[in-house]
Structure 1
Amino acid sequence: MDELKHIPEYASWREVRLIDKGWSSDKKYKVVTNTGEEQLLRVFSKQAISAKQQEFLFIKKVASVIKDSSQPIICGEIPNTPFGYMLLSYVQGRDLNSQLPELSNEQQFFLGKSAGLLLKTIHELPVPESVSQQGIQQRIYDKKCNQLQRYLDSEYYLEGQEAVLSYIEEQLKNIRTRPVCYQHGDFHVGNLIYLPSREIGVIDFNRWDFGDPYEEFYKLQSFSRETSPLFSYGQILGYFDGEVPESFWTFQKLYVAHISLFSVIWAIPYGNKQVEEMIARYYQFKRDYPTPKTLVPEWYNKAEGAAISINMDL
């Protein structure tokens, strides 16, 4: 923590506590100032300063349209060290993935609808004219192809993968026809906060990017639905204002199918346990889509049935 003492704001802090959670390479700290204000400090390699300044600008854009999100304070280099830092407001509350199981079905559903509206708000931020939509589309396509090839070149073979690969190869080229928007990049219940106001706050923007708005939903199916299918169902309905287009399901299946294979390779550096968890997610995908023609996943149909008793107009 010696590098923290070189941060210009350090003298105004009375407490600095390490936050040991998450997958980011940033070191994260909860800071309490001399006046009692709580802030989030992220420390990173100075080599990442340009990317982090772009992230900071994105956080500023989001904060201008979503009040209950990380508010930007400062981003810069830590003098006389090989590090940079970012200071943000600390969003008070409880991790939503911990809170949801304690809430009623109605509360889970309506929080999901709220989350869908928040995600839609992020996606509606104007994309700068300098951003090449065609270039982004091609980059995403090339990235997905490369990731898929890494799986194919690996030692892994998962039962029934032929049909999954066939669907991916059939649909992957269509990524280049998709619109481009700002993406949060990691939008799921692990990065949402249940606020004291009983509303939702949005945090952790370090995976932001430009890309297909539909791509944001594969983590809902991979992570959020495990905590609360009703929340996840509500998020989709909220995002689409109750009218989910068929094209969404086509691309949702594509993105979830793709990540169900590539995540096995992604997990290798983290050990066998993590690899086994990703393999289990692949077989969950197979259960969600029991036939090659299935587009709407089974978990969504079940959640829709469970939501029948909920008054949607509340």
Structure 2
Amino acid sequence: MKLSEIEELYNQVPYCKEWNRVKIKEITKGFSNEFKYLIENIDSENNIIEKVFIRISSIKLKEEKIEEFKRTKLLNSITDDFNMTRAIEMGVFEKNNNSEGYVWILTNWIEGTDFRDDLPKLPLKKQYELGLDAGRLLKLFHSLEIKDTSNIYNRDNIERKLRIIQDFENTKDIRFENDELIIKFIKENLDTVYKLDCQKLVLKHGDYHVGNMVLTDTNQFAVIDFNRSCYGFALDEFQRIQNFDIECSVHFSIGQIDGYFGNKSSEILNNHSFWYSFKTFVAMSLISGVHWARTFDQSIVDGMIYRAQEALSHFNNFKDDIPSWYLEFKQQQQQKEATEDIENSKFNEESILSQKKQLESI
């Protein structure tokens, strides 16, 4: 879609109907096939009154976009305490020349900077605190539990994932060192992990990671891009921590897990079903990620292979359940707390002895 087309068609958006002057800017960032534009409402003195964001897709995707809009509104309804993309309205652009029309979704525009660029610049404590908030928000999203799991766990779903693995194995130019260890683990565990009692079916954001977050001017995070929202298992949402978040900030990644589970370190470390699920979903995402990347240029493939090799290291060739970046952090944290307890104990003993001597001298 040309910029001139959106300039003609935006008047069909009811929300913008009364806007006299607008400025429209195309947004090219991201992997989606949608047309994306920032629309600014400008007054007579060129002051910006309001900004909105519009995503435009082929009319052939109308039914899918209707469901996406509903899912986004549902996730928006859970809380007002966090900054996020919020759906405003949707509709269809009609064209008069009998050519194909478009379906559009209008949302708010969130001011901020690229989370991946600026998160690492913040103090480590702040990175961890933002992770805690991200985990708490994800927990709220997952509070919309769905009772019917029949469409999520079935043999067709498992077989589809196994076909991806088979296709990966047959595509020689994307194979990498020790990938057979990941494949072996998936084949041995994928069916089992889907049947665990802990697999709660929820409405997911679907692409919850640092690449879909914005750092606001108050150094808070905001979640954007709900276009991949879907129904699925809650614990499957965590695999992007390993794939994308840790390379940006380990402290944020750890905070996200801690925040989701109420920041109870000992309980999290002993939550074997979570770590088993986490490792299995990570393993599947590594293979499917490299498989997906082959449709782009080699740099995308190389990036996904690098992440897979990092995961092999973090999970000790998939022999360990808890990744080293989380376990080592918690061990250091526990050691620090133990040292502080000893120091506090020594201080208290010295204080008591000092008080005792003072009393004896009276």
Asked whether the two chains share a fold, i.e. TM above 0.5, the reply is: yes
Structure 1 runs of 4+ off > 6 angstroms?
A: none
**In the superposition, relative to structure 1, how do residues 18 and 183 fare at CA in structure 2: closer, same or farther (>3 Å)?**
same
Equivalent positions of 1:81-230 (< 5 A) are 81-127=100-146, 132-138=148-154, 140-155=157-172, 156-177=174-195, 178-230=199-251
The one of 4, 24, 29 aligned to 1:21: 29
Check the 8 A contact 2:193/2:280 in 1, yes or no.
no
Instruction: Look up the SS of the partner of 1:196 in the other structure.
Output: coil
Residues 168-218 of structure 1: CA distance to partner in whole angstroms, max 9, x if unpaired?
Answer: 111100243232111111000111122234332211011111111111111
Q: How many residue pairs align between the two structures? A: 307
Structure 2, unmatched stretches of 5+, are 44-48, 338-362
Bigger CA drift: 82-91 or 161-170? 161-170
* CA shift for structure 1 position 233: 0.3
The one of 47, 58, 71 aligned to 2:60: 47
Percentage identity across paired residues of the two chains: 28
CA distance in 1, matches of 2:192, 2:85: 34
Bigger CA drift: 182-191 or 29-38? 29-38
**In the superposition, relative to structure 1, how do residues 292 and 192 fare at CA in structure 2: closer, same or farther (>3 Å)?**
closer
CA distance in 1, matches of 2:70, 2:318: 42
**In the superposition, relative to structure 1, how do residues 306 and 88 fare at CA in structure 2: closer, same or farther (>3 Å)?**
farther
Instruction: Look up the SS of the partner of 1:236 in the other structure.
Output: helix
Equivalent positions of 1:47-86 (< 5 A) are 47-67=60-80, 68-80=83-95, 81-86=100-105
CA distance in 2, matches of 1:23, 1:234: 27
Instruction: Look up the SS of the partner of 1:85 in the other structure.
Output: strand
CA distance in 1, matches of 2:312, 2:255: 23
Could you say which structure has the greater relative contact order, defined with CA pairs below 8 angstroms and 6 or more residues apart?
1
Structure 1, unmatched stretches of 5+, are none
CA distance in 2, matches of 1:77, 1:238: 40
* CA shift for structure 1 position 53: 1.2
Instruction: Look up the SS of the partner of 2:90 in the other structure.
Output: strand
* CA shift for structure 1 position 257: 1.4
Instruction: Look up the SS of the partner of 1:125 in the other structure.
Output: coil
CA distance in 1, matches of 2:239, 2:290: 15
Check the 8 A contact 1:289/1:298 in 2, yes or no.
yes
Q: Output the aligned Cα RMSD.
A: 2.0
| Match in the other structure for 1:33 | 41
Instruction: Look up the SS of the partner of 2:29 in the other structure.
Output: coil
* CA shift for structure 1 position 292: 4.2
Letter of the aligned partner of 1:133 in structure 2? T
CA distance in 1, matches of 2:317, 2:75: 39
* CA shift for structure 1 position 306: 5.9
CA distance in 1, matches of 2:202, 2:158: 15
**In the superposition, relative to structure 1, how do residues 307 and 95 fare at CA in structure 2: closer, same or farther (>3 Å)?**
farther
Bigger CA drift: 300-309 or 146-155? 300-309
CA distance in 2, matches of 1:214, 1:113: 17
Bigger CA drift: 142-151 or 230-239? 142-151
